[in-house]
Structure 1
Amino acid sequence: MDGNRQPGSPSSELWLHNTMSKKKELFRPKVEGKVGMYVCGVTAYDLSHIGHARVYVTFDVLYRYLKHLGYEVCYVRNFTDVDDKIIARAKELAEDPISLSRRYCDEFIQDMVHLQCLPPSVEPRVSDHMPHIIDMIKQIVDNGYAYRVEGDVFFSVENFPEYGQLSGRKLEDNRAGERVAVDSRKRNPADFALWKASFMRNNSAKEGEPFWESPWGPGRPGWHIECSAMSAAYLGYSFDIHGGGMDLVFPHHENEIAQSCAACKQSNVSYWIHNGFVTVDSEKMSKSLGNFFTIREVMDLYHPLALRLFLMGTHYRSPINYSDVLLESASERIFYIYQTLHDCENVLSQHDKGLQESIPPETLNVINKFHNDFSTSMSDDLHTPVVLAALSDPLKTINDLLHTRKGKKQAMRIESVAALEKIIRNVLSVLGLMPTSYSEALQQLREMALKRAKLTEDKILQKIEERSEARKNKDYEKSDAIRKDLAVVGIALMDSPDGTSWRPAIPLPLQEQQVAA
């Protein structure tokens, strides 16, 4: 792959689905060669779940691909550390809200490190940006789009005729107060808070709630204004990409557009990008429904890069159903990828790196097709499932070259293996699936398979020895029974002239479930 391609050249055209237009559009940044991207971050009051992982893996892939195309990217991903949910959780735990959110921000960062999500350019926190937020609210009030009721400030949706342009919702659809706090003091039930007073009508402070001084009295910002202010602080009012989960289209992103345009008429985001839900039994995974699995819980049993592969195995805009079958399948797949590349690494380390043999046409065809599949699929709205499927041919070719010597000149085989390994490594790097060490990743995958199987390696080696004895004694029934017992818990045995080894596999009952489906 040519890592020196310049943005704007035909080979680097990128098409992205824009929620605003409801169609794929050719990506053209506002400033040539530079991209400004804002992604709404977590509200830090608990450990993050798999739904969060999907959001940030999706935009990490976009971030990496933009950089691969040669763009200079300013990627801003915020932390909401001032919010009603944080205050409620802090009261529940008898903890300071800011301290609680700081702790969960740190936990989230660790989750992202394990998932190999690159650190954004900036990770602003609401509590550090009160002056920006207050200034924006003042501008909105001065421009006639907001009104004060006692110590609260509300945005007037009726004063913004374009309200609903992103979600397609009409103003009359919002009058029931869905996902908007009901308050009889509002001029319209769909009006939303820009500033929330921290003192009650009798002037007593709301216990345990953080507050900041403002022209409207002490209080704290509403959720929506926080992102508008922070995106403007780092990217200006006009930038390229704003992203998040599909659940943020309304009301969060709809309200962001209204606020930002009310503060500055020139406010404009070129591309609104949203990923689909992670579902459990066809319902969206969420904390409110109680049907979620934290990233930590899943990573306790599955390798983080197997989880990342699972999340990338479905197109980012489509829903993905969380299941053990798919996670086991991702684990088996990534073990195969790393085992092939590890074998490759071992062979290449034994040969002179200065070999200059030409690569045979059949291998060049595999390389060129894979490169084309990668570029075409990624530039077509980040079709990662197609890229992952396309890995099969170069991996199979490597294994054929490593294990078949008939009619192959050794030096030519080594050059072919080296070229295939290089392009696979480059693609895995863009996808965020490249481990620091193949052998280390393989060992971790084995250890997690043992944990899921509730076995130790010593126990498996003992079973291998028992099976070997049974085969020597021609007790094939016992030999087959041992193999099947291990297969049931996700351990596959592989026989070779050098003996029997084992690898993680999809447990037999889940394989049968896959076939039945």
Structure 2
Amino acid sequence: MHAWPASEVPALPGKGRDLRIHDTATGGLVDLAPGPVARIYVCGITPYDATHMGHAATYNAFDLVQRVWLDTKRQVHYVQNVTDIDDPLLERAVRDGHDWSALAERETALFREDMTALRMLPPREYIGAVESIPSIVPLVERLRDAGAAYELDGDVYFSVEADPHFGEVSRLDAEAMRLLSAERGGDPERPGKKNPIDPLLWQAARDGEPRWDGASLGPGRPGWHIECVAIALDHLGMGFDIQGGGSDLVFPHHEMGASHAQALTGEHPFARTYVHAGMVGLHGEKMSKSRGNLVFVSALRRDGVDPAAIRLALLSHHYRADWEWTDQVLQDAVDRLARWRSAVSRPDGPSADALVEEVREALAQDLDAPAALAAVDRWAALQHTEGGTDEGAPGLVSRAVDALLGVAL
């Protein structure tokens, strides 16, 4: 599976700062100092209805991580998956009378278009669950043969008791885990499981559903969490720098994925840091496919909204915050974009060297994009009220906003 084209990231004078970011597993800020190649895995879409503003906010957060690392003169090894086989995709295909694989292909293509328009830097590897099945099957077999998994009526479940570090990512109690498991694709009420929250690794073939050769597992399809584990281990290995996604993935997805990998390898941790973006709401509720209260990037683009304004709307909120999408949020972003473009269109202006350092510092401190935007606002206001004589300033501001914030002026 191919990703989308990369927009050029302008080079800036000097060097950026190392990232200090919130780690879900410890509940506090941690200093990240990756090696020459920073490694990040971000969970991708289930392609049955892409791309709403909640998706865009999540991928914007991890695009900022990439940009901060690139500004420190590191390379970035970024991997993202596509869950192109799962219950919600099959259910939507049946509901709408579509072939499930054609639906997945169509929505993935739309996602690529949206990411390109928003200038999100693409992953080095963009991998679908279906193409990962040859890697997934042997992992499930290894877990089963090691006693970390068990069969139940032909299905194979992971035993959470097999990982002594289980629970360290989400830090939730058993009851909270059970409730979230039921809400987010698990089956805690199924009789015969060793633990109600044990997740599915391999689902035996069901009538009318797609199936793949599972070798000794029998025909079927993979569970949700093992998909990301197989992809991450294949391309990044254990102990990569950041596992990222929306806050709704903390449990069960990231908790279970970490335990799968740790039980498989005997190593800990799966990821050094777990970073999660907040949820975007609309009309007082979390924006989600199940509720249908979605604002789509593609719809805004069709209505003539500049993708740079959409990106500024996302950047105006801290990545960890839960926030509400409104018409006013978008209008404020449109107005900000106009002010910034007007400011950099002049032949000279106030010195921008300090501004670049302000933006770098804001982003290095837990991706504080609102503080970075405020710094550019101050420079633009000074440009409009007093002007300046530095001929290189407008160009430097334009390059910095592009390189660090992903907004083309």
Specify which of 164, 170, 181 is matched with residue 167 of structure 2: 164
Letter of the 2:61 partner, please give it: T
Give 1:272 shift.
Answer: 0.6
Alignment partner, residue 215 of structure 2: 214
Specify which of 115, 123, 131 is matched with residue 118 of structure 2: 115
Specify which of 369, 374, 392 is matched with residue 418 of structure 1: 392
Alignment partner, residue 315 of structure 1: 318
Contact residue 194 and residue 222 of structure 1 kept, 8 A: yes
Alignment partner, residue 300 of structure 1: 302
Alignment partner, residue 429 of structure 1: 403
1:62 and 2:91 correspond: no
Specify which of 352, 355, 361 is matched with residue 376 of structure 1: 361
Letter of the 2:323 partner, please give it: I
Q: TM-score normalized by structure 2? A: 0.90
Alignment partner, residue 272 of structure 2: 270
Alignment partner, residue 283 of structure 2: 281
CA distance in 2, matches of 1:104, 1:427: 30
Letter of the 2:74 partner, please give it: Y
Alignment partner, residue 190 of structure 2: 183
Specify which of 20, 23, 29 is matched with residue 25 of structure 2: 20
Q: Point out the structure with the larger helix share.
A: 1
Residues 37-436 of structure 1 mapped to structure 2, 5 A cutoff: 37-175=40-178, 178-179=182-183, 180-181=186-187, 182-199=189-206, 206-268=207-269, 269-301=271-303, 302-342=305-345, 344=346, 347=347, 363-364=350-351, 367-400=352-385, 414=389, 416-435=390-409
Alignment partner, residue 3 of structure 2: none
Give 1:329 shift.
Answer: 0.8
Contact residue 51 and residue 296 of structure 2 kept, 8 A: yes
Letter of the 1:249 partner, please give it: V
Letter of the 2:79 partner, please give it: V
Letter of the 1:54 partner, please give it: A
CA distance in 1, matches of 2:329, 2:379: 23
CA distance in 2, matches of 1:85, 1:430: 35
CA distance in 2, matches of 1:338, 1:103: 34
Contact residue 141 and residue 217 of structure 2 kept, 8 A: no
Contact residue 145 and residue 155 of structure 1 kept, 8 A: yes
Structure index of larger Rg: 1
CA distance in 1, matches of 2:98, 2:215: 25
Letter of the 2:404 partner, please give it: V
Q: Deviations over 1:317-366 (max 9, x none)?
A: 11121111111111111012112223x2xx47xxxxxxxxxx9xxx44xx
CA distance in 2, matches of 1:5, 1:422: 12
Give 1:114 shift.
Answer: 1.1
Length, aligned pairs only: 394
CA distance in 2, matches of 1:432, 1:4: 17
- 5+ residue gaps in structure 1? 200-205, 349-358, 403-412, 436-517
Contact residue 39 and residue 76 of structure 1 kept, 8 A: yes
Give 1:249 shift.
Answer: 0.3
Give 1:184 shift.
Answer: 1.3
CA distance in 2, matches of 1:282, 1:92: 27
Contact residue 162 and residue 263 of structure 2 kept, 8 A: no
Give 1:26 shift.
Answer: 0.8
Query: Cα RMSD (Å) of the superposition?
Result: 2.1
Structure 1 residues 60, 2: closer, same or farther in 2, change over 3 A?
closer
Give 1:137 shift.
Answer: 1.0
Q: Deviations over 1:72-117 (max 9, x none)?
A: 1000011110111111122223333222211111111011111111
CA distance in 2, matches of 1:4, 1:336: 24
Residue 281 of structure 2 aligns to a residue whose secondary structure is strand
Contact residue 315 and residue 385 of structure 1 kept, 8 A: yes
Q: Deviations over 1:467-516 (max 9, x none)?
A: xxxxxxxxxxxxxxxxxxxxxxxxxxxxxxxxxxxxxxxxxxxxxxxxxx
Residue 279 of structure 1 aligns to a residue whose secondary structure is strand
CA distance in 2, matches of 1:67, 1:247: 28
Aligned-pair identity in percent equals: 32
Give 1:2 shift.
Answer: 8.1
Structure 1 residues 307, 318: closer, same or farther in 2, change over 3 A?
same
CA distance in 2, matches of 1:131, 1:53: 30
Structure 1 residues 19, 175: closer, same or farther in 2, change over 3 A?
closer
Q: Deviations over 1:386-445 (max 9, x none)?
A: 11011123223333466xxxxxxxxxx55x14224313432333210014xxxxxxxxxx
Structure 1 residues 173, 340: closer, same or farther in 2, change over 3 A?
closer
Residues 474-493 of structure 1 mapped to structure 2, 5 A cutoff: none
Structure 1 residues 214, 5: closer, same or farther in 2, change over 3 A?
farther
Q: TM-score normalized by structure 1? A: 0.72
- 5+ residue gaps in structure 2? 1-9
Residue 127 of structure 2 aligns to a residue whose secondary structure is coil
